[in-house]
Chain A
Amino acid sequence: MNINVTLIAQIIAFVTLLWFVNRVLWNPMNDLLTARQKRIADGLAAAEKGKHELELSEKRAKEHLVEAKSQAAEILAQAERRGSDIVEEAKEKARTEAERLVIAAKADIEQEANRAKEQLRGKVASVAAAGAGRILGREVDEKAHADLMKDLVGQI
């Protein structure tokens, strides 16, 4: 007879082995594999998040750059404006200065002319006196005729 009590022994062995495998091999390994799966999933999620954050910060950096550029342009425009203002101011100053100088020069010239006139008057008086002396043949005393001379000079 082929089937005998060995069958029952083997059934017991099989069920016992099943129980042990479930306990010793399957459950720990399954837990391990599940834990690893979770770890990998977490890692991938973290990587995804990092990538997202990188994208965000890149975007932010670009925005910053654009802002900085516009700011720089504004500052440049301001500086230009200010520069032209300064130039304008300087021009104005130069003009007033020039005017002032011209006025001063004119005054100087007038003064000089006056002084020259005065000198000339004096010279003319002495020349006139000398000429009159020659004409009269004698020396005209300038002191004696000072009043006359003065009067003459005043007429010039």
Chain B
Amino acid sequence: MSGSSDGGGTVAYIQHHLTNLCVGDCDPVTHKAAGFWALHVDTVFFSVALGVLMIVVSHRLGQNLVTGTPGGFQNFVEMIIDFVSGQVKDTFPGHNPIIAPLALTIFVWVWLMNFMDLIPVDLLPLIASGVLGIEYLKVVPTTDLNTTMAMSLTVFALILYYNFKVKGAAGYLKMFLFHPFGKFFVPVNIVMTVIEELAKPLSLGLRLFGNLFAGELVFLLIALIGGTMAVGLGALIWFPLQVVLDLGWLIFHLLVITLQAFIFMVLTIVYLAMAHTEDH
């Protein structure tokens, strides 16, 4: 019946949208990555493109910095930098020159990648397939677990590095043995602390991925309202509904992407602050 074919079309539509442009060790039928040696070209392309955008804009801004009274864009950038360094100062004890740029990079990059979610879901894939002949395109890099985990694992590596550097190997080991229940529960402590430490990168990466993936999915579902569901006169009802819902979710999602970028940044600062404090 039409219902089942609609359902099939819907699933296919969503599936298609959630499939990366895979190169390398990919499944030829589903076009999903089949092994480790598969590269999501779209993810890398968009994240790197946004990174390059950041660098180019920063560089151009850096060429004509004004010490006295800054104009529009410099003011805006200064506001962001002030905000980030304020967060770092509030949360981070002592001084480490890497923390603030790290937080700034995460905040701006994650926000920019999240922002790709607000571009109409079908626009870029349509251009890609129509103009460039690219079949699959997943635009938002943060809806790819690889991106979010890449950042959270980098942060995790920094957490480990500073734990060893500040507390020393013995001090870090002591934390595993005697935290959080004291010296009489050493096995429990080890399990608890290992879970706690491993949960940091996992939760960091999965939270961002989950939120953005869900957001993208909702956009897809809203897009479906006016797409496959509306046939003939039904479009008169469904199309305005789609527009209203899409606008609502867009505005809400604008808050979500900012919040997620902010959370990722703040948690990074907090975790690194914890790595820097002697007593736990």
Could you list which residues of chain A lie within 8 angstroms of chain B, going by C-beta atoms?
A: 1-11, 13-18, 20-22, 24-30, 32-33, 35-36, 39
Report B-chain residues with C-beta under 8 Å of the C-beta of A9: 39, 44, 146, 150
Could you list which residues of chain B lie within 8 angstroms of chain A, going by C-beta atoms?
A: 20, 24-25, 32-40, 43-44, 47-48, 51, 54-55, 58-59, 61-62, 65, 67-68, 77-78, 81-82, 85, 98, 100-102, 104-105, 108-109, 141, 144-147, 149-151, 153-154
Report B-chain residues with C-beta under 8 Å of the C-beta of A29: 62, 65, 77-78, 81
State whether A5 and B51 are in contact (beta carbons under 8 Å apart), knowing that A14-B151, A21-B101 are contacts in the complex. Answer: no
The CA of A16 and the CA of B109, in the complex, are separated in Å by 12
Residue from the list B59, B78, B85, B102 in contact with A24, Cβ < 8 A: B59
**Beyond A4-B35, A6-B40, A11-B154, 8 extra complex contacts between A and B, CB < 8 Å:** A3-B146, A5-B36, A9-B39, A10-B47, A11-B153, A13-B48, A14-B105, A25-B55
Which 6 residue pairs are nearest across A and B when measured between Cβ atoms?
A: A10-B150, A25-B58, A6-B146, A22-B101, A26-B101, A17-B51
Report B-chain residues with C-beta under 8 Å of the C-beta of A13: 44, 47-48, 51, 150
Nearest-CB distance from B30 to chain A (Å)? 12
Residue from the list A10, A32, A36 in contact with B146, Cβ < 8 A: A10
Report B-chain residues with C-beta under 8 Å of the C-beta of A14: 105, 109, 150-151, 154
In this complex, what residue of B is CB-closest to A22? Answer: B101
State whether A7 and B149 are in contact (beta carbons under 8 Å apart), knowing that A17-B109, A21-B104, A24-B62 are contacts in the complex. Answer: yes
Pair A4/B25 contact, Cβ less than 8 Å? yes
Pair A10/B44 contact, Cβ less than 8 Å? yes
In this complex, what residue of A is CB-closest to B58? Answer: A25
Report B-chain residues with C-beta under 8 Å of the C-beta of A25: 54-55, 58, 61-62, 77, 81, 101, 104
Nearest-CB distance from B231 to chain A (Å)? 35
Residue from the list B35, B39, B51, B58 in contact with A6, Cβ < 8 A: B39
Cβ contacts A to B, 21 pairs, < 8 Å: A4-B33, A6-B43, A6-B144, A6-B147, A8-B150, A9-B146, A10-B43, A13-B44, A18-B101, A18-B105, A20-B54, A21-B54, A21-B105, A24-B55, A24-B62, A25-B77, A25-B101, A30-B81, A32-B65, A32-B67, A33-B82
